[in-house]
Amino acid sequence: MKAAIAASPLPEGLSVERLGATTLLSIRWRNMASWALLPLGLVAAAIPVGLFLKLRELPWNDPIQLLVVVFGIVGLIFSYLVIRRLINVTRLEVTPERLCIRHGPVPWRRPSEVATDKILKVEVRPYQWRYDGGVATHYHVWAVHEEGHETCLLERDTTKDQANRVRDEIHHVLEARVAQKRG
């Protein structure tokens, strides 16, 4: 049975579920850029398929046929990236013992796990890059370990509010773990 979600409103694209000692944070990858890229992804996949069907009588070693195959592969990869961005979700499952990171349903990175007793602190860090004269800022969530190394827990196109809320939810579980050890 689900526990009540925190009283403060959640940032758009983020959901929080509490099931006993487990907190499940889900962050959608979808944003306006994803929707804008969808028509390009469909065209990138459809044009090479259409050309291939039209030019199928040409021999396989014909330069035009090879060019269509190369564009087809590029189009399929681009379409995969657009679809992945539209439907994928990053899930952080936080328990007193571990923090597990998963991405899906479209395959992306392998799941990873971090032992919570090794986490010294969780930080939000801005990530900026320049494009066409502008600057975009996204926020990544990092776990700093006692040994000094760091693990990026969340690195998608995350807003400041989403990243801060993820950090706060993880801190809540870590503080409960420490309180449980003391008590």
Average pLDDT over every residue of 59-82: 80
Domain boundaries, the chain: 14-29+88-182, 34-85
Residue 165's pLDDT is 95
C-alpha to C-alpha distance for 34 and 53, rounded to whole angstroms: 29
The pLDDT value recorded for residue 183 is 63
Q: What is the pTM of this model?
A: 0.78
Cis peptide before 126 (omega within 30 of 0): no
User: Does the pLDDT value for residue 54 go beyond 50?
Assistant: yes
Span 101-153, pLDDT tens digits:
999 998 888 899 999 988 999 999 999 888 888 888 889 999 999 888 999 99
Q: What is the DSSP letter of 3?
A: B
Whether the pLDDT of residue 52 is over 90: the answer is: no
- 105: amino acid identity, one letter: P
In which band, very low, low, confident or very high, does the pLDDT at 174 lie, cut at 50, 70 and 90? Answer: confident
DSSP label of 106: S
Average pLDDT value for residue range 154-167: 89
Q: Does the pLDDT of residue 63 top 60, yes or no?
A: yes
Give the CATH number of domain 14-29+88-182; options: 3.40.1580, 3.30.70, 1.10.10, 2.30.29. 2.30.29
pLDDT at residue 47 tops 60: yes
Report residue 106 as tokens: 């479209």
Confidence (pLDDT) at 17: 94
Q: Is the per-residue pLDDT at 30 higher than 50?
A: yes
